[in-house]
Amino acid sequence: MNISSLLQGVASFAWVGLFGVVVAIFVRASRNQPTKGLNTVVIVLLVAAIVLTSAGAAVIFIEPDELGVVVTAIGGRGIRPEPLTSGLHWIIPFVERVERYSILNQTYTMSSAADEGQFASDDSIQVRTKDGQQVYIDASVIYAVDPVKAIDLYRTWRVGYQDGLVRPQARGVIRDAASQYGVEEIVSSKRLEMSVIITEELRRIFAENNLVLRDFVLRNIRFSDEYAAAVEQKQIAEQQAEQAKFVVDQKKQEAEQARQIAQGQADAAVIAASGAAEARLIEAEAEAEANRLLSASLTPELIQYQYVLKLAPGVQTVFIPSGNQFILPLPNTTIPD
């Protein structure tokens, strides 16, 4: 409780006490009882009530987050040239009054959700884009009173700057900016650019009207039901195309993998066949060389000897058909001269 409220509270008690004493005087007078002492009390309470009421009206306490604009009947301008800052101040009772302005940041939200904005109904901004599509934009404007220009703000807007300036200007600037872009640009590549344009334009307008723009928030962009359905169908078609492309790529990969496996098997068969042919060639060459060496080493005596060795061990007599020569030539037993 500040001193101004305290003085006004005490003054209220003084007025209540004064009323009670006056009632007591009338009661005692109706009973022919003396009221001399009560008359003095009435005068004291009256003076105290008037003084306290005047003091309570004269002492103004401005909170740290406030500014006070003094409206006065003295002089021709009607407003003191400088606002009251935080702390205790004196004004002339019943001649001057104080209009308070909060210097805290204030947020004005326009949204389709009932519990987010200042309106209980849908308060989103309807915008027609460059390509003729209808979109709905949710946005918030964060602003504050310019402490240096509080006097001018009071002269221009009094306390109606939110409904008279912030709301209509924000909605108008958003519509103008969004109408310069196509619907796909707003929701994707140009969204940040559009937000910057809106912020700069609102900052300029607010500065001209004694407010300070702290921030602009582009909360949400919503399509019309028809366009949203078309976008959904387009996305489904794109997803199906991507799925088909994926299946084709997968089949290509599988075919390439099968081709590489077949190629590997064919290469392995060729290598195996080549190896087998080469081995056979080497084997044939080895056999030919062996035969050549064997042929070169054969003599009639060796053949006869091998023939005899191959006969069964139990053979004692060999029968030769009559009129035929011996199978092998007999050794020459002639003793040379």
Residue 227: closest CA among 86, 144, 128: 128
Beta bridge partners of 109: 140
**Looking at the predicted structure, is the pLDDT value of residue 121 above 90?**
no
Label residue 193 by pLDDT band (50, 70, 90).
Answer: very high
3-state secondary structure of 216: strand
Q: Yes or no: say if 73 and 80 are a contact pair by the CB < 8 Å rule.
A: no
Report the 10 Å Cβ neighbour count for 297: 8
Interaxial angle between packed helices 167-178 and 191-208, expressed in degrees from 0 to 180 and rounded to the nearest 10: 140
Q: What is the pLDDT averaged over residues 312-324? A: 59
DSSP classification of residue 166: I
**Looking at the predicted structure, is the pLDDT value of residue 268 above 60?**
yes
- For 281-308, write each residue's pLDDT tens digit: 888 888 777 777 767 776 766 666 666 6
Label residue 46 by pLDDT band (50, 70, 90).
Answer: confident
Share of the chain above pLDDT 70, in %: 82
* Separation between Cα atoms, residue 327 and residue 319, nearest integer Å: 11
Label residue 248 by pLDDT band (50, 70, 90).
Answer: confident
| Per-residue model confidence (pLDDT) at position 311 | 63
**Looking at the predicted structure, is the pLDDT value of residue 250 above 90?**
no
**Looking at the predicted structure, is the pLDDT value of residue 107 above 80?**
yes
Label residue 172 by pLDDT band (50, 70, 90).
Answer: very high
**Looking at the predicted structure, is the pLDDT value of residue 332 above 60?**
no
Share of the chain above pLDDT 90, in %: 36
CA distances to 269, 272, 274 from 259, rounded to whole Å, are 15, 19, 22
Beta bridge partners of 59: 90
**Looking at the predicted structure, is the pLDDT value of residue 10 above 70?**
yes
* Separation between Cα atoms, residue 2 and residue 60, nearest integer Å: 9
Label residue 228 by pLDDT band (50, 70, 90).
Answer: low
Strands (E), 63-124: 66-72, 87-90, 96-102, 106-110
* Length of the chain, in residues: 337
